[in-house]
Amino acid sequence: MLWLLSWKNVWRNKLRSIIVIIAVMLGVFAGVFMLAFMNGMVEERIQTVIRTEISHIQIHQPGFLENNDFSLRINNIDSIIHLATQTGHVAAASKRIVISSMVASAETNSGIKIIGIIPDQESKITNIGEKITDGDYFRNQQKNNVVIGKKLAEKLKVGLGKKLIITIQDVSTNITSGAFRVGGIFDTDNDMYDESIIFVRFSDLSLLSGLDGTQAHEIAVILDKDENTDQVKAELRKSLSTLEVMDWMELSPEAGYLVSAMDQYTVIFMVIILLALCFGIINTMLMVVLERVREIGMLMAVGMSKIKVFYMIMLETVYLTMTGGTVGIAAGYFASKYLERVGIDLFFWKEVYASIGYSSLIYPKIDLQTIMIVSLMVIFTGLFSAIYPAFKALKLNPAEATRME
């Protein structure tokens, strides 16, 4: 009886109820969509960190990452790569020579990190090959080819085929230089990365630095699934106890902070939306109670218990909130799912996003767990908003209320 009466009461003042429902719907839609948008941004950034910049796991000599000490090299590199690839969930592994160096063009020079890679191995690890906007990714078998970022190319004022002089310290700690030609230019949506990293063939850099091909500074490991990172890291740490095995969150702690920071932001954002809705609902329900003083007084007079009066007002509020909330959640979910496929291209802010390492093409991401959490938050908001108006109804004196004009 109360369920039906409360539902009918919601529609007593259709216009007002529809306005409240639309307000709740828009608020919840905005909340769900913003959650999906932020999730998408974080996910995109994490995937960039893993698939473009770092990979899931990297292996180094202990201390190498602190100052990129050239002498801290991993010996018998191929046997270690073999061991790594034999570990469960490892999809591929690649060896790299990593040297801090200087690159100079005819116009200017810049401090960079030069990475020597085996292109076929590296293609299984990172997607730099897919980010080439000019030239190619070591398809050309010419010696001393270099693939550089678009931002660095602009800085050095070079284009395809142009010569660059790379200066490094070799195994004998002598300064040595080599002439390389730009064979490809990549654009990863992360300006800092594009400006500071260049790729050359492993063999070319081995030759220039005097390494014999059995040594490298870094092994990058990619896994079948992101969620297996902890397990594989633990196994590799066990089997390669003399080496330093670190995952992407340790190598790029800001990405890890980003995940937790975004989680906090989204909660704060959602709470602000729901709090604003909460006050709107309280205001509406107070009006509802004040408009129906005589009727509520009559209900109490004829024998409706206080708990039922309280329950009736709570139900009306929950109906209002949940009607708007359900539509808002559904609209937010389906809009996010649609945009998850086609993406949102914020091309007009491309420069801004690239300067902080984000792609301007964002694919919102939403899952059912998030939807469940939002639903519970909406129900809680409805119940919380109902408490004060319901108490206000309970305070009515039926003898006075029934005679009120």
Partner 1 sequence: MNIIEIKGVTKIYDKNTIPVHALNGIDLTFQEGEFASIVGPSGSGKTTLLNILGGLDDATDGVVLIDGVDLTALSGAKKTTFRKNKIGFVFQSFNLIPVLTVQENIEFIMQLQGIAREDREKRTAELLEAIGLSDRKNSRPNKLSGGQQQRVAVARALASKPKFILADEPTANLDSKSAENLLDIMGKLNREENITFIFSTHDLRVMNKAKRIITIEDGKVISDVVKEEIHNLI
Q: Counting contacts by CB under 8 A, is residue 1 touching partner 1?
A: yes
Does 291 bind partner 1 (CB under 8 A)? Our answer is no
Inter-axis angle of helices 253-291 and 14-48, nearest 10: 180
Binding status of residue 3 toward partner 1 by CB under 8 A: no
Taking the complex as a whole, the smallest distance from the CB of residue 386 to partner 1 amounts, in Å, to 19
Quick check: 9 binds partner 1 (CB under 8 A)?
Answer: yes
Q: Of 95-103, 221-229, 237-245, 393-401, which segment contacts partner 1 by CB under 8 A?
A: 393-401
Q: How far is the CB of 304 from partner 1 (least distance, A)?
A: 6
Smaller CB distance to partner 1: residue 310 or 384? 310
Q: Quote the least distance from Cβ 270 to partner 1, whole Å.
A: 34
By C-alpha distance, which of 112, 252, 98, 254 is closest to 195?
A: 112
Q: Which of 294, 346, 375, 383 binds partner 1 (CB under 8 A)?
A: 294
Nearest distance in Å: CB 357, partner 1? 57
* String of DSSP letters for 253-285: HHHHHHHHHHHHHHHHHHHHHHHHHHHHHHHHH
317 binds partner 1 (CB under 8 A): no
Q: Provide the minimum distance between the beta carbon of 287 and partner 1 in the complex, in angstroms, as a whole number.
A: 16
Largest CA distance in the chain: 102
> For residue 40, with 0-12 CB atoms within 10 Å meaning exposed, 13-18 middle and 19 or more buried, which class applies?
buried
Is 390 a residue that touches partner 1 (CB under 8 A)?
A: no
List 344's β-bridge partners, or say none: 362
Closer Cβ to partner 1, 275 or 287, answer by number: 287
Given the complex with partner 1, which of 5 and 192 has the nearer CB atom?
5
Q: Which is nearer to partner 1, 283 or 397 (CB)?
A: 397
Alpha helices, DSSP H, located in 343-367: 350-355
- Cα 33 to Cα 37: distance, rounded to the nearest angstrom: 6
Closest separation in Å from C-beta 307 to partner 1: 9
197 strand-pairing partners: 113
Applying CB under 8 A, which part among 5-13, 52-60, 155-163, 353-361 lies near partner 1?
5-13
Q: Of residues 11-30, which lie at the interface with partner 1 (CB under 8 A)?
A: 11-12
Least separation in angstroms between CB 21 and partner 1: 17
Kindly tell me which residue out of 3, 8, 157, 267 binds partner 1, with binding defined by CB under 8 A: 8
Residue pair 282/289 in contact (Cβ under 8 Å)? The answer is no
Q: Which is nearer to partner 1, 334 or 391 (CB)?
A: 391
Question: What's the closest the beta carbon of residue 279 comes to partner 1, in angstroms?
Answer: 26
Contact by Cβ (8 Å): 75, 213: no
Please, are residues 218 and 59 in contact by the beta-carbon 8 Å criterion? Answer: yes
Question: Quick check: 48 and 188 in contact, CB under 8 A?
Answer: yes
Q: Give the separation between CA 236 and CA 93, rounded to whole angstroms.
A: 12
Task: State the number of binding residues for partner 1 (CB under 8 A).
Answer: 24
Return the number of the residue (140 or 305) whose C-beta is nearest partner 1. Answer: 305
Integer Rg of the chain from CA: 31
Report the site for partner 1 in 295-314 (rule: CB under 8 A).
295, 297-306, 308
Burial class from Cβ neighbours inside 10 Å (0-12, 13-18, 19+) for residue 42 reads buried
Applying CB under 8 A, the span of 198-206, 292-300, 330-338, 363-371 interacting with partner 1 comes to 292-300
Is 289 one of the binding residues for partner 1 (CB under 8 A)? no
Task: Give, in order, the Cα–Cα distances in Å from 168 to each of 134, 165, 180, 206.
Answer: 26, 10, 13, 11
**Closest CB 395 distance from partner 1, rounded Å:** 13
Closest separation in Å from C-beta 298 to partner 1: 4
Under DSSP, is residue 57 helix (H, G, I), strand (E, B) or coil? strand
> CB neighbours (10 Å) of residue 255?
19
Q: How far apart, in whole angstroms, are the C-alpha atoms of residue 231 and residue 88?
A: 9
- Binding of partner 1 by 367 (CB under 8 A): no
According to the binding rule CB under 8 A, does residue 290 interact with partner 1?
no
Closest listed residue to residue 103, CA positions, set 240, 216, 205:
205
Chain residues that interact with partner 1, rule: CB under 8 A: 1, 5, 8-9, 11-12, 294-295, 297-306, 308, 397-399, 402-403
